[in-house]
Copies of this chain bind each other. A is one copy, B any other.
Amino acid sequence: MFLQLNDVGKTFEDKEKGEFEVFSNIDLSIDRKEFVSLLGPSGCGKSTLLSMVAGLEHATSGTIQLEDKQIKQAGPDRGMVFQQPSLFPWLNVRDNVTFPLKSTLSKQEAEKRADHFLKMVHLSRFKKHYTYELSGGMQQRVAIARALAMDPKVLLMDEPFGALDEQTRHILHDELIKIWEETQKTILFVTHSIQEAIKLSDRVIVMGTRPGRIIADFNVDIPRPRKRSDERVIELEDKVMNLLKEEINKVLKEELNNELEYSH
């Protein structure tokens, strides 16, 4: 398998609350060039799982392997795009993209490469701009270009469009699919949005919470571009929604401290 998670578990040591097990016994296999979405309610451990693949967190138990090699720490073979803007404000757009290339390429080569990917995300014009001059959508485009510029084997995306408004999100969806088709990367994509997961991915992994676990794994074999009004899309959305409802209610009840029970 290309990316293989075996019996993975994660427990945080919290000074105040003691040990907290986010999930355990997660098994997952992902093929080369697959676009896989991780979907689930808040707190089920999606980000934690992604961080472990990135090598930013260590698994408490189990193994994670990329091309049969154990993942031990973060490295440029796995590019990551975060929800919060993580561009460096002291660098201009192009220097942000060449940041990971400094150690391996000459300045000229790095810039050529950066320009290539900036063109891919339609930001050639903004090479010399600084972060604060860009809208949120443009910043995420740069972050995608930066991750791609390292030529990683896997692209990890943690709710990359979560902070954007709906219209911008739609546009970036289309761009991301185009880039994915062009670069043939494997993508592991975390999202809250059922719609987004179904629109984009080959596979939707649905996670549940308390404890975190995988509750379903759907193959989405609907040809792209997928229309919201497509019957197969709607059917799948409904399926996932029903699966998640119970999970969402768990979270909600906790938030309202069981008030719903007696006020209804």
Residues of A with Cβ closer than 8 Å to B?
41-42, 119, 122-125, 135, 137-138, 162, 165-167, 170-171, 192-194, 228-229, 234-235, 237-238, 241, 244, 248, 251-252, 255-257, 259-260, 263
* Contacts A/B (CB < 8 Å), 9 sampled: A42-B167, A122-B259, A123-B256, A123-B259, A137-B255, A162-B165, A166-B194, A229-B235, A234-B234
* Sample of 5 more A-B contacts, CB < 8 Å, known A122-B256, A166-B194, A228-B237: A42-B165, A135-B255, A166-B192, A228-B238, A229-B235
Q: How many copies does the complex hold?
A: 2
A244 CB contacts on chain B under 8 angstroms? 167
Q: A229-B237, A252-B171 are in contact. Are A125 and B257 (CB under 8 A)?
A: yes
A162 CB contacts on chain B under 8 angstroms? 165
Cα A229 to Cα B235 in complex, Å, equals 8
Contact check, A234 vs B238: say whether CB atoms are below 8 A apart: no
Contact check, A41 vs B234: say whether CB atoms are below 8 A apart: no
Contact check, B167 vs A251: say whether CB atoms are below 8 A apart: yes
Give the nearest-CB partner of A165 in chain B: B192
A166 CB contacts on chain B under 8 angstroms? 192-194
Cα A252 to Cα B263 in complex, Å, equals 46
A117 CB to nearest B CB, Å: 12
Give the nearest-CB partner of A235 in chain B: B229
Instruction: Tell which of B41, B167, B194, B234 touches A248, judged by Cβ atoms closer than 8 Å.
Output: B167
A122 CB to nearest B CB, Å: 5
Cα A192 to Cα B166 in complex, Å, equals 7
Contact check, A119 vs B192: say whether CB atoms are below 8 A apart: no
Give the nearest-CB partner of A162 in chain B: B165
A63 CB to nearest B CB, Å: 32
A238 CB contacts on chain B under 8 angstroms? 228-229
Cα A166 to Cα B248 in complex, Å, equals 11
Contact check, A248 vs B171: say whether CB atoms are below 8 A apart: yes
Contact check, A256 vs B125: say whether CB atoms are below 8 A apart: yes
A122 CB contacts on chain B under 8 angstroms? 256, 259-260, 263
A41 CB contacts on chain B under 8 angstroms? 167
A191 CB to nearest B CB, Å: 9
Cα A123 to Cα B124 in complex, Å, equals 50
A193 CB contacts on chain B under 8 angstroms? 166
Give the nearest-CB partner of A262 in chain B: B124
